[in-house]
Amino acid sequence: MTRMRLQGARVLLTGASGGIGQAIARRLAREGSQLVLTGRRADILDELAAELGARALAIDLARRKEVRRLLKGAGEIDVLIANAALPATGRLAKLDRERVDGALEVNLRAPIALAHALAPAMAARGRGHLVFIGSLSGKAPTAGSSLYNATKFGLRGFALSLRAELAPAGVGVSLVAPGFVSTAGMYAETQIELPRGVSTRTPEQVADAVVHAIVRNRGEVDVASISMRLGADLSNLAPGLAARANRALGGERLALEFERRQSEKR
């Protein structure tokens, strides 16, 4: 399979008005990509687009009509980076129906709908790449995050399966899975002190991982410390043992603190 070149590639990036999205956009601009940036905050999008010479489309991915409007306005796309996501933290019984539906639409359905619309043309051209920004929460479940875990587990399964499906057509698919990100995103907004030995990564490191995944055609790239990656892998191999270890290390207490601090964002 021919590796994707980002110089001159037409890239659609969702969630571009967030901190991680902005870092990805700036990294891709340095690669010479032609960017279509989308997000909910038009003021931030417009400023970023002006800085990078990109196009901006203010879109709410929770609304299906808006997803269709995005596809119509984006035009021909070589690379999709599905980065937008809602926190969706909290115990299920405390989440209202609107929050459940919103998380499912933005975190899971919208990336699938975008891929469904864009992949056939990529396959017909024999080139293209789809990147899904997942999370280590797509490997390691935690109490108080059942809905968020569900969307990220689902996104991971979709991405890895779609990769096998599109490989014969010359289209790459990658999942980039950050752990805790220091200055942007859901963890940064809570300002929770992490347990000893658990470190963070920067938005720029996530952006570097996105570029690496595309140009090297990597199926899955974790952006986290070795200890966090090993813990996530253990959750796949021995979920019961991993759950007990997580409780012993204070993981459930951490999850409940996330729930408390993000409650006002619902």
Which residues are known catalytic residues? 148
- Euclidean distance between CA atoms 99 and 89, whole angstroms: 10
Are 74 and 57 spatial neighbours (Cβ–Cβ below 8 Å)?
yes
Hey, what long-range contacts does 149-152 have (CB within 8 A, 24 or more apart)?
151/85, 151/88, 151/103, 151/104, 151/107, 151/108, 152/107, 152/177
Sheet hosting strand 172-178, strand order edge to edge: 55-58, 34-39, 10-13, 79-82, 129-133, 172-178, 220-223
DSSP for residue 104: I
Q: Which has the closest alpha carbon to 189: 129, 114, 127, 265?
A: 265
* Amino acid letter for position 223: V
- Euclidean distance between CA atoms 261 and 265, whole angstroms: 9
Query: Do the strands 34-39 and 172-178 form a parallel or antiparallel pair, or are they unpaired?
Result: unpaired
The torsion of the CA quartet 211, 186, 178, 201, rounded to 10 degrees, works out to 80
- Euclidean distance between CA atoms 264 and 88, whole angstroms: 12
